[in-house]
């Protein structure tokens, strides 16, 4: 649950709320940029740490790649991808690849 997922900013959509398109291992979703410092907004190519659909902070590319490796080491990479794929309720189609955890 305490996943901080690194993502690369693809674009920033002006307006309120400020949303940004991020890319996480090839998956693109919109995240809310409202928790970032408004006078230091990310630009395309910057990296952010994402938690439950909100960008929490800007980080360097080096730290972003390390964070991705940390998630893999923790065995949380799949969970992170499932979370990202679920942003925006993208999972509601018949071809959805997001599954609920089996129980």
Partner 1 sequence: MRFVDEFRDPEIITKTAEEIRRLIDPARHYRFMEVCGGHTHAIYRFGLKDLLPANIELIHGPGCPVCVLPMGRIDDGLAVAESTDHPVMFTAFGDMMRVPGTHGSPLEHKARGVDVRIVYSPSDALKLARCNPDKHVMFFAIGFETTAPSTALTLMRAKAEGIKNFSVFCNHVTIIPAIRAILDSPDMRLDAFIGPGHVSTVIGCRPYEWIARNEHKPIVVSGFEPLDLLQSIVMILRQLRAGEAKVENQYKRVVPWEGNRAALRAMAEVFELRPYFEWRGLGFISQSALRLRDSYAEWDSERRFQVPGVRVTDPRAAQCGEVLKGVLKPAQCKLFGKECTPEHPIGALMVSTEGSCAAYHSYQLRKEAVTSIHSAA
For partner 1, the binding residues in 3-62 under the rule CB under 8 A are 4, 16-17, 32, 34-38, 49, 51-54, 56-57, 59-60
State which residue, 10 or 79, has the beta carbon closest to partner 1: 79
Distance CA 61, CA 48 (A): 9
Distance CA 94, CA 76 (A): 26
State which residue, 46 or 83, has the beta carbon closest to partner 1: 83
79 binds partner 1 (CB under 8 A): yes
Say whether 85 sits in a helix, a strand or coil: helix
Contact 42, 9 (CB under 8 A): yes
Q: Cα dihedral angle (64, 68, 73, 78), rounded to 10 degrees?
A: 160
State which residue, 11 or 65, has the beta carbon closest to partner 1: 65
Residue 10's alpha-carbon distances to 2, 72, 74, in angstroms, are 24, 23, 27
68 binds partner 1 (CB under 8 A): no
The residues of the shown chain that bind partner 1, judged by CB under 8 A, are 1-2, 4, 16-17, 32, 34-38, 49, 51-54, 56-57, 59-60, 63, 66-67, 69-70, 73-76, 79, 82-84, 86-89, 100-101, 103
């Amino acid at each position: 649950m305490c996943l901080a997922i690194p993502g690369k900013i693809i674009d920033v959509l002006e307006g309120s709320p400020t949303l940004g398109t991020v890319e996480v291992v090839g998956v693109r979703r919109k995240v809310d940029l409202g928790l970032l410092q408004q006078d230091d907004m990310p630009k395309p190519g910057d990296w952010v740490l994402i938690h439950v659909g909100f960008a929490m902070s800007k980080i360097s590319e080096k730290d972003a790649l390390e964070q991705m490796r940390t998630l893999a080491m923790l065995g949380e990479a799949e969970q992170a991808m499932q979370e990202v794929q679920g942003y925006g309720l993208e999972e509601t189609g018949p071809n959805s690849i997001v599954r609920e955890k089996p129980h």
